[in-house]
A and B are shown apart, each in its own frame.
Chain A
Amino acid sequence: METGTTRVKRGMAEMQKGGVIMDVMNAEQAKIAEAAGAVAVMALERVPSDIRAAGGVARMADPTIVEEVIKVVSIPVMAKARIGHYVEARVLESLGVDYLDESEVLTPADEVFHINKREFTVPFVCGAKDLGEALRRIGEGASMIRTKGEPGTGNIVEAVRHMRVINGQIRRVTNMSLDELYNEAKNLGVAYDLLLEVHQLGKLPVVNFAAGGVATPADAALMMHLGADGVFVGSGIFKSDNPEKFARAIVEATTHFTDYKLIAEVSKNLGTPMKGIDIATLTPAERMSERGR
C-alpha cells in the first residue's frame, strides 16, 4: 500500500475534470458552492479582487477558516500557500487540505525557487502562462496545472492568452522531430524527458484547468472550448449579486459548454457580474501573473 504516488496525486486532479472549483471565504459560502455543484472549494481569507484592493502582503489563510470549511463540506478542500513557502504548505497539509495551490495570488515568499512538491503526500496545483512554466512546475512535482490568467480582474483576456499559448506550444512540440526537441527543451528551460512526454502524449501529462478572470458562465464555457479540463472561479461568484444562482449557472455552462441555448438560459437575470478591470490599466507590479517563473 502506497500513499502520495504520482498516480494517486495526478489521479485526484483527473477526478475534478469537467468541474468548477470555487473560491470561498467561510463555511457558509463553502456550503453554497457545494450545493451548486462545485467539485472542490478553495478556502481563502480574501478572494483575489479583495487582495488586489487591500494591497500589502497576502499570506496563507488563517487555519481556522480552512478547518471550518473542511468541517462543513464533503467535497475536496484546497488552499493556497505562497510561492516557495515550504512551511505554509506543510501547515496546510497537516490540516488535511486535499490539494495545495502554490499560488501567485499570494505575495511570493521566494523570488527564485518554488517548493519541491515531490516531497509532499498532498498534491499541488500551480499556475502557468506558457509551456515552459507548466513543465517546470510539473518537474518540481505539480500534479495539476492551471492558467495564471489575471486573478481578481473579472477579465478573461489573460486566461485566454495563457491557454492559447500553452496549447499552441504543445501543438508545435508534438510535430517536432527528436533532434528539434533537444533544442526546444533548452529554449523552454525544461527537462528533456518531460518535453518528450508532451511530444508523445500531445498534451500535458497532468490536467490543465483555466483560472484567473472567469466572471460569467460564458467565460467558463469559452475556456472549456479552448481546451481547459475544468475551471477555477475566484472572485466571480461571491462578488456577484446572487452567488447561489451564479454558481449553479457556471457549473452547468462548464458541463454543457457547447450547448449555447442552455448557456443562454442559465445566463438570464444573473444580476450584475463583478465590475472587472481593464488589464491595460494595471502596472507591471500589479500583475499577479508576473510572479513566479
Chain B
Amino acid sequence: MRIGVLALQGAVTEHIVSIEKTGAEGLPIKRVEQLEEVEGLIIPGGESTTIGKLMSKYGFIEAIRDFSNQGKPIFGTCAGLILLAKQIASGEPGHLELMDITVARNAFGRQRESFECDLDVKGIEEPIRAVFIRAPLINEVGPEVEVLSVYKDEIVTARQGNLLVSSFHPELTDDFRLHQYFTDMVEASGTTA
C-alpha cells in the first residue's frame, strides 16, 4: 500500500516515518501527477496559509477533490484539517472544502499556549499522547461527520467517510496507532492496487 504525504511545506518526513511503521510505503507528493501513484493521502501540519497558496498555485485543489471523489482516503493533521474544512470560522474562504466541518484557526491561542496531553480516541484502545501546536478546533460538524475525540468539550478528531482529521500532531510521537487507523481506512476503501 502506498500513502502520499503532500510535500509543499510542513512536517512531511515525520508522517512518512509514521506511515512506514504501519508497514505501508510513504511517498512525498510535490506534483499533482504523483497522486496517481498513491491510494491514500496525508495533508500534514505546517502553515495552512502557505500550503493553501501553494496548493492553488500548482493545481492541487482540483486534483485532491478528484482524489477524494474517487473514494480514496485523506488524513489531515492540524493545517491539513483546516485545508479540508468546508468552512473557516473567521469567515476567510475555505481551501479544499471537502469535509462538512467548521474550524477555528489557532483556537487555543499562541505558541506559549501549545500543549500535549493524553487523549481518548474512539476506535483506539488506550489513550494516545496528543501534541497540539497553535492548533485549530472543530466548532461545528455536519450530520455525516463522526466525532472521534474531544478535549475539554471541543472536537479535535473526526471522520466523514473517507476523510479523517485531527487538530493535533500524531506524527510527532512514536505512537503510530492513528496512522494505523488511517491505513486501515485505505485498506478498507478497496482502492489499493
Chain B residues with CB under 8 Å of A8's CB are 114-116, 131-133
Whether B111 lies near A2 (C-beta < 8 A) is: no
**A121-B112, A252-B57, A255-B9 as given contacts; A19 in contact with B172, CB under 8 Å:** no
A122 to B110 Cα, complex, angstroms: 10
**A39-B50, A74-B49, A76-B134 as given contacts; A5 in contact with B116, CB under 8 Å:** yes
A56 to B111 Cα, complex, angstroms: 33
A3 to B109 Cα, complex, angstroms: 12
A18 to B15 Cα, complex, angstroms: 14
Whether B30 lies near A15 (C-beta < 8 A) is: no
Question: Across the two chains, which residue of chain A brings its CB closest to B171?
Answer: A14
Whether A98 lies near B173 (C-beta < 8 A) is: no
Query: Which B residues from 19 to 54 make CB contacts under 8 A with A?
Result: 30, 45-47, 49-50, 53-54
Chain B residues with CB under 8 Å of A18's CB are 7-10, 12, 46
Residue A1 CB within 8 A of the other chain: yes
Per-position 1/0 for B93-119, Cβ under 8 A of A: 000000000000110001111111100
Question: Across the two chains, which residue of chain B brings its CB closest to A75?
Answer: B47
Question: Across the two chains, which residue of chain A brings its CB closest to B57?
Answer: A252
Residue A11 CB within 8 A of the other chain: yes
Chain B: minimal CB distance from A251 (Å): 7
Chain A residues with CB under 8 Å of B7's CB are 18
A98 to B8 Cα, complex, angstroms: 22
Chain B residues with CB under 8 Å of A11's CB are 11, 114, 131, 133, 169, 172
Interface of A is mostly: loop
Per-position 1/0 for B108-150, Cβ under 8 A of A: 0011111111000000000000011110000000000000000
Please count how many residues in chain B sit with their CB below 8 Å of the partner chain's CB atoms: 36
Question: Across the two chains, which residue of chain A brings its CB closest to B152?
Answer: A1
A19 to B47 Cα, complex, angstroms: 9
Chain A residues with CB under 8 Å of B105's CB are 74
Whether A123 lies near B111 (C-beta < 8 A) is: yes
Residue A17 CB within 8 A of the other chain: yes
Chain B: minimal CB distance from A135 (Å): 21
Chain A: minimal CB distance from B29 (Å): 12
Top-3 shortest CB links A-B: A98-B111, A18-B9, A39-B47
Chain B residues with CB under 8 Å of A93's CB are 112
16 of the cross-chain contacts (CB-CB < 8 Å) are A5-B115, A7-B116, A7-B131, A8-B115, A8-B132, A11-B131, A12-B111, A15-B46, A16-B47, A17-B46, A18-B12, A19-B46, A74-B105, A98-B111, A121-B112, A255-B9
Chain A residues with CB under 8 Å of B114's CB are 3, 8, 11-12
Question: Across the two chains, which residue of chain B brings its CB closest to A94?
Answer: B112
A122 contact from B12, B49, B53, B112, Cβ within 8 A: B112
Chain B: minimal CB distance from A261 (Å): 12
A12 to B172 Cα, complex, angstroms: 10
Residue B78 CB within 8 A of the other chain: yes
A72 to B8 Cα, complex, angstroms: 24
Residue B14 CB within 8 A of the other chain: yes
Question: Across the two chains, which residue of chain B brings its CB closest to A229?
Answer: B13
A75 to B105 Cα, complex, angstroms: 10
Chain A residues with CB under 8 Å of B117's CB are 1-2
Chain A: minimal CB distance from B109 (Å): 8
Whether A3 lies near B8 (C-beta < 8 A) is: no
Residue B84 CB within 8 A of the other chain: no
B115 contact from A1, A37, A98, A255, Cβ within 8 A: A1
Chain B: minimal CB distance from A39 (Å): 4
A252 to B57 Cα, complex, angstroms: 10
A39 to B132 Cα, complex, angstroms: 18
Whether A96 lies near B57 (C-beta < 8 A) is: no
Residue A40 CB within 8 A of the other chain: yes
Chain B residues with CB under 8 Å of A98's CB are 110-112, 134
Chain A residues with CB under 8 Å of B116's CB are 1-2, 5, 7-8
Chain B residues with CB under 8 Å of A2's CB are 115-117
A38 to B36 Cα, complex, angstroms: 29
- A-B contacts besides A8-B133, A76-B47, A122-B111, 14 pairs, CB < 8 Å: A1-B116, A7-B172, A8-B132, A11-B114, A14-B172, A15-B47, A18-B7, A18-B9, A18-B46, A19-B10, A34-B49, A39-B9, A252-B57, A255-B9
Chain A residues with CB under 8 Å of B10's CB are 15, 17-19
Whether B131 lies near A17 (C-beta < 8 A) is: no
Residue A99 CB within 8 A of the other chain: yes
